[in-house]
Chain A
Amino acid sequence: MYDQQLLVEMKGISKVFNGVKALRNVSLKIRKGTVHALMGENGAGKSTAMKILSGIHKPTEGSILVEGNEIFLDNPKMALDNGIAMIHQELSPIFEMTVAENIFLGREPVYPKIHLVNYPKMYKDTKKMFESLGLSIDPKQRMKELSVSEIQMVEIVKAVSYDSKVIIMDEPTSSLADKEVEQLFSIINRLKNEGKGIIYISHKMDEIFQIADDITIFRDGEYISTNLAKTLDHDSLIKQMVGRELTDIFPERSKSVKDQIALSVEGISAKGYFQNVSFQLKEGEILGLTGLMGAGRTEIAKAIFGMIPIESGIIKLKNKEVKIKGPKDAIKHGIAFVTEDRKEEGLVLPMSVKQNITISSLHKFTSGPMMKRDLETQVVDDMIKKLKIKTYSRNQLVETLSGGNQQKIVLAKWLLTDPKVLILDEPTRGIDIGAKTEIYKLMDQLTKEGYSIIMISSEMPEVLGMSDRIIVLSEGKVTGTLRPKEATQEKILSLATANKMGV
């Protein structure tokens, strides 16, 4: 009886890449009408397993069963034909095409005989699909006009439209604000009630406990366990994922805040992004900057860094007004900016660890036009040691490193520019728990050394766990400043939505 409930089963799956075992004999059983969370640190094999299930990779050993029948997947299309759809973490719609064109890509309805695309039917069907899920997106809009969350919804509708039995969602909320997450969850619940199975990959614990029925844990390419979500709690889950005790994710914060002001912004505005924003950052402080998507957090950081021009207001460093015209200026003034998108703005992926670490401070390693390579090597090796970057060589290409190590390389790069103020935008996004803790410890260490940090984050536990003060933004305005002791998730959320409620 129980077995008839199984939609998909992965049995004894192993995968070898270039002689390295990425997966060792793992199993996964997805029950009908459930959300099945797949958990594990980065490199645990979650993505590899899902790429096998969605036909991108072929397993070296093992079998896949759909409703009891063994299937062989040569490509993603065969997976779709067998009712398995995957929504990737990095969405790649065709931006110049309309919503409906994207959904029906490769299977456009045509008029019989003349074989021309039947656009009216395509738009009508798309509209019907959206309505059935309670979405209000215009099928005729171009993808480029949609927000990230809307694109996400379109991808989900597309996945559902293949009449999928199982839908794999890889970090679907990584770029969504809380409200949009709620919307996503209500759609997931609807799909669940229709008897579909959802495989849900996420690093966010709160979400997992809110939505998952079953939880399977992988570690280092091996299957660890499958449990009902209600039989697990936060700590036992982490313990199984990490394989060691983790007393606390967040380090005891040092009392490093001094009275001197490192940076202050006074009434800065940039049209369309934020208005009249003022705050002060003290030396040795971690100032948390939070709010919903589109609240203007990243834009404020970009303005301080000279990437967005400000129309009014002033920026002061150590009580002296500065004009910052671009990143180069900002670096000269001792500001560093760890951007939220490592791969887009932080790293040069085809370059080595060493070359990435020194890219912003090459002037330190030159005499005349020539590079001083010994000095460079020595400084890079020191950084690798100090930040505990795991790499087999300083000449390893950064594209082959894990997210946590990549983030440390971005940090190392900026530390070499001798900054006073570090702006960290979503410093632990897409990083596993072990590496997160290391980054947090590092941040604490840096404040002790006198660095001042602005931390932009949409992860509440991080904001509450690391900040000395929290500034909440809504719709481009500061709506409140909180001390972590008095702050709660509810308080922050109500401030973050303040303007939206008509304040």
Chain B
Amino acid sequence: MEHSFIDYITGQAMLPPRGSEFAGEVDLVFIGIYWLSIILFLAITIPTVYFAWRYKFKAGRVTPHQTHNTTLEIMWSVGPLIICVGLFFWGLDGWMKYAVAPGDSMEVVVTGKQWLWQFEYPDGSRTVNDLHVPINKPVKLTMTSEDVLHDLFVPDMRVKVDVIPGRYSMIWFTPNVLGPHTFTCAEYCGKDHSGMKGTLTVESDADFAKFMATGGTEWEEYRDRNDWAGWGKLQYERKGCNSCHSVDGTSSKGPTWKGLFSKNESFTDGSTGIADAKYLEQSMLQPNAKVVKGFEPIMPTFQGLLRNHEIKGLQAYIESLK
């Protein structure tokens, strides 16, 4: 954004674009203090320079012996005190808003680690360094760190908070400007501290719904690398498959996935079949239709919990476990 010289004088150019109503309130306080500071700065600088010039040394000039003036001392103690009390309450007003998120906020769980930000949406889908939110709806970021201190700072929203291992911290905002906004890490965290940044995309409800339908952008990296097995391995860990299915051949609550693909299986209903991709998909969505002999029908359905590209990934992962 280009700023004119006048914008620097008024203080507007000191601040980044505003992305929320809260940003406007903070800016009002900022501009207020800015002008107060300019007035006080002039009140100090003008006498400093003027006295140095007006009372420049002249031989023989006798200076008055003014030792103190109690009225003046009280004035310049109490005056600033009143200003300070006013400023404290003005700042407190914004702080109270910052500290409490509205009850109907959409919650995104944020994990900071050296040196990336991971976002988890209400439906469990995830993104890295890429936060999407709908416009005009409050968003609450519940955050923790996996290693050292970080700090999520969204300049356009005028919010930041430290992200601390072993604790949860929170910021929230209601974006009202579409488009990309940057966010950064503001607490020093080591080598790539300055690279720990990303984009906050504020989009319309329709665009956000479209984004959510694909479950975030993380899979695009795997798709671009054509690494469907890797994508499936991630789902294996994330969706909880690993609590019942091993991948090393040992038997657990469910059959192992090692060597499962294309295997000839016998089922509890007496039939047999090939464990192909179609069978695997059926086992995820209707797990009790065909249960392998020797196992209990205890697996919950993943209908609605797995997206197509996640199923495709799991199939590829199982196929890779020879």
Verify that A and B bind, or say they do not: no
> What residues make up the interface of B, taking CB atoms closer than 8 Å to A?
none
